Each structure stands twice: as structure tokens, then as C-alpha cells.
A and B are shown apart, each in its own frame.
Chain A
């Protein structure tokens, strides 16, 4: 598998205050693929994505994005370069309308470009958001809010979309919809996706490659279908 890589994480170490969470994480995300990171609660999945995004400062290691070292850039600089994150818990702007939330997703381009083309694309992907464009984000259902969070992340026209447990707390039917959307984004939008999940079955079905993270270290990796075959092992790692 030698597709050019969009993101490479090398020996990443990070944490909060004195407490180290990540102990040398290595990841590769090839162009136009879906890479999933699985792991139990507290393994450091969110910390990994937040470190890649620059919300948490990496302690050691290297983050290479589209061939450039972006390790120490600020989040807004990374967004401008094409990284985008759908954070755990969504972090929408509850008092703003759906459309204002989406326009804020294009914040780094506002004033320079007209975001209305991207807005139309997002509305095509999620017609439901178009129906609700004037509704306040905070008053929508969990599934709609997750669509909005994904739509907002797409508004910056990213080349890498990262998602932190988008299926959390949603009904199985909606989880399937979201997974299908991610496949569409890879196949039709030609996006590259780094997905963090706890839903093993659903995410391994759409992913190309999988990593298992445990206590801040990668303990298993491989093509998704092979990892899926060793589901007993994965379950043991994830403690379920």
C-alpha cells in the first residue's frame, strides 16, 4: 500500500500538565482512505486528535501533513492548511442558526471567497440541514447536530477530515447513515478521513486500515478486513 500519504504522525507524545497520555504514537493516513483508530475509554484517542489539531500542544514527535512539518502550528493555521476536526461532543454554537454554524465552518475563507458553493454541497449531502437552516443549532436532535458538526467541518474544504466518535449516543440507524456518509465523502468527495470510534463493527466495515490504541500506545494495526477477522483479539484489547 503505497498511496501517497496525507498525514503521518511519528512518535507523538503528549498529555495534560504533568500527566503524559500519549507515549509514542505512529499513524499513517494514505490519500482517499478511511483510517480508523479504535481504543477503550481513556486510551488517548481524543488526545491524539487534539494534538494533531494543535488544541493540545505535542510534547515530542512529529506531525507531517501533505509533506510539511506542521507539528507546532496553531489550530487556526492548521485549518487554513486543510486539516479539519469534528470534535468529540460536537462543540457546535448552540445559539447560532444552522446556517451561521456552517458559515463559521468557512471562517478562514470568509471575506476572501464566497462560501456559498460549499454550502450548497453540504446541503446536498444533508438535505435535512437545509430544511432547518434557520433553526438554532442547540435545539436540534442529536443526529441532526452530528450532521451539522460534520457539515461545519466540511465548510473549510479540508483535505483531511478527522472525526472523534461521531456515532456516540446515536441510534443504530443514524450511525449507519453517518458511516455511509463517510464512505460517500471518501468515494465521491475524494476526501481522506481519520476516524476515531468505539463502534468496532460499523467502523471496521467502512475503514481501509485500522489502529488499536491502548494506554497511549498503538498495540495492533493492519488492513481493516484483517483486523476485523481477529475481532476476539480486538474485543480483548478494548475490554468488551
Chain B
């Protein structure tokens, strides 16, 4: 075993893990916030996430074909696609709740879950249909902004592209903003009150349906932001790209303690790091017996172990004390 190599790649792997972790964390927030107020898994969230990525790529391609992509400052371009992606995914999430979940609010638990799976398939194929008519394409590639690929040397062996820094900074800002909103504002307190006891919250004068819509809006917007950042970071998307990261983000939410907002962040980071380290080190440490393709098996085995010892997740608590 080459110890020098193991140590040498460590910072790069750590960086990859953090990047992936923030991505999962942002997506996981959508699952966890909705679960917090409704005790319901919004399986369509993976598509709400990828819609953000599609809105981003469409704007970039539009700017490119108009020939202005390189003349607009890159910070503005990024802000534009982030805000647009967040808006689109947020509004989509609110509409999905309104149309497909709210009428089933008092139905047995499995019914809205099935509705969510249906919405998930519907959105995948709707995106596919739209893109095949509009661009006659299945895979779309994010146009590169040259500045974003500029690499900064951290050490002799590690360098980091600007886009990764952008992703980390944007994710941190959004996680902080959400934390402050939920814990430091009146409307955030109302969200927590509705999560705990809807009837009691309504007796305070809180319009419960409006708070539920707001929860979908925020969770969807975070997912949309994650979609845009995903596109910027990894480049290639198709209508089914959202599914796997969505599933992993859901796992991250459970790992952190579903319904718990800081838990989603912690769970996302832990899963991202596990995956990155497994991808880089498994083959090195096992002399090639297990390649990088076993990363998911490794990451999920670790998850199962954690959940055996902490069934409510790392920061888990009982989501609702009474009905």
C-alpha cells in the first residue's frame, strides 16, 4: 500500500465529499421540512430538484445562443440561474402539493405516497417530452463559463476550481439563511408550531394550509438551488438524473433524523463524505478487490450500521409528540 498516495489525495477527496455532501444536504431539506409538517415523504422531490437544473441550463443555453453569455458578468449569470431555478422549483412544489397531495390530506397514509410516486413519473416524462420537442435532446450539457473552471492551487497536489468554491459558499449561505428563518423569525416559529400540532397552531390564528404551502415553497426552492448547483458542478443532466441523488438525499435526511433541519445538513455531509472516501480509497485499501463502483454498498452499509445504533438518526428526535 502506498501510504504517500493515500495521504496525498486526502484533501482532494475531502473536498469532493464536502461538495457532494452540501448537494445532498440542500436536497434533503425538502424531504425533511415536508416530513416535519406532514409526516409525509414527498417522493416527487427528486424531480422538483432536477427541474431547477433544467431551468438553469435552459437560461444558460438561451444566453449562449443570444451570444451574450460571455459578456454578462459571471456572478450575475450565476445569481440569475440560481434565483430562476429556486423560483421554478419552489412554485412547482407548491403546485404539486395543491393539486396532488392536499385533496388526499385525510386519506390513509399510503394514498398520498402513491400519488407522490405518480407525480415523480409524470414530471420525469413531462421534462423528457418538453426537451425532446424543444431541443430534440435527451442529455443536456451545462455550457461552461470559463472563469468558473479556473483552478486555484491549495497545495502542490491539490487544486480547486472556482465553481466548487461557488457551490460551497452558495450552499452554506442558503443553509444559514434557512436556519435563521426557521429559528429566528415569527413565520419560522409558526412553521415549527404547525409541525408540532396543527390544530393548536390554528387556534393561534395560524393559517395551517398557508404554512404548509410555505414549507413546500422553501423546500422546493432549496431543491431548485441544489439542481442549479448540481448542473454547474457536474455538467450533464437528463430527465432521470434527479432520481438517484434524490434517493440519496432522502437517505441523508433519515440518517440525520427526518423532520430535523440541522439533521438534514449533518446527514448530507456524512453521506457525501462516506461516498467520496469509499470511491477513492476502497480500491487502494483492498488492493483492487473492491473498486470505486462499490462506493454505494460501502456508504449504505455504514448508514445501516449508524441507524441500527441510532434508529432516529444522528440528530433525531420524535417528530410529533402527539396527534
A binds B: no
Q: Which residues of A contact B (CB under 8 A)?
A: none
